[in-house]
Amino acid sequence: MPEPNQEAQKLAAEQAAIDAQKAELAKQQADFAEQQSKLQAEQAELAKQKHETAKAEIASFAETLIKEGRVLPKDKLALVEFMSSLKSDEVLEFGEGDAKTKTAVLPWFKSFMTGLPKQT
């Protein structure tokens, strides 16, 4: 049977190992949380840039419509904001039976706007 002093030393060594593992786990969790936070910030920045790029493209499209006379300049801001609110992956479905059509909302709306007659 081990002596009480040896048993205490063994328990102390095991507790020290457990404490070291807990400290390492806490460090890994903190590192993970930091990486996760950085990733979320990068994703938010990427989403912001994507939105700004899309909005700039829409503004350019609106300018083209204005130059062609299909949209009045006074309607540009509202048109850009409206088109920016459309989700690029949203699908529009219309028609009946075999004539049923599915199309992405934003490209359909652009096509619709391009087909408008010139304003007078």
Tokens 């400290």 identify what position?
23
pLDDT tens by residue, 26-77? 999 999 999 999 999 999 999 999 999 999 999 999 999 999 999 999 999 9
pLDDT tens by residue, 30-39? 999 999 999 9
Tokens matching residue 44: 């938010």
DSSP assignment string, 45-112: HHHHHHHHHHHHHHHHHHHHHHHTTSS-GGGHHHHHHHHHHS-TT-EEEE--GGG-EEEEHHHHHHHH
CA separation for the pair 39, 44 (Å, rounded): 9
Could you tell me the pTM of the whole model?
0.68
